[in-house]
Amino acid sequence: MAEQTTQQMVVGASPQRTWEVLTDIERYPTWATDLKEVHVDSRDEEGRPLEVTFRAAAMGRSTTYRLRYDYTKAPEVLAWKLVEGDITRKLDGVYELTPVEGDPDKTLVTYHLEVDLVMPLPAFVKRRAEARIVSTALRSLRDHLER
């Protein structure tokens, strides 16, 4: 069964700048610490990454997965769904970007993630791993934007 987690963080960048960084998927390995490789397999009619293959560090090993991005609610929402993965059955997520009222140079980033692994693990271990993925991603994003 898939586990879900949601976390929020205010970052010191405008929603537009945050969107630009989040959709520059090919550069993720320069700031997202667990990502080792990113390959854009296809692009949409606007040239944005549509299907992307990732290689990442996970639970002491390397994992590979392919995501399909959805820009339907751009630039407020960047969503994705797992196409295939070697240790995941589900790795679906959403970044929601909300302007911080009164401060155009800040964005509230909400990250939703739903994960289901191929291998059975106790629920508390899956929840802890999910929370780590989300918090690490948000911290890495914030640190990159605020550099």
pLDDT of residue 2: 63
CATH number at residue 62: 3.30.530.20
The list of the chain residues with pLDDT below 50 reads none
Question: What pLDDT, in 10s, does the model give residues 110-125?
Answer: 999 998 888 777 676 7
Q: Residue 51 sits in which domain range?
A: 3-146
pLDDT of residue 142: 96
pLDDT of residue 75: 97
CA-based torsion, 72, 46, 55, 34: positive or negative: negative
pLDDT of residue 1: 56
Question: How many domains does the chain divide into?
Answer: 1
pLDDT of residue 67: 98
How far is residue 123 from each of residues 2, 65, 112, 129, 145, measured CA to CA in Å? 9, 22, 18, 10, 33
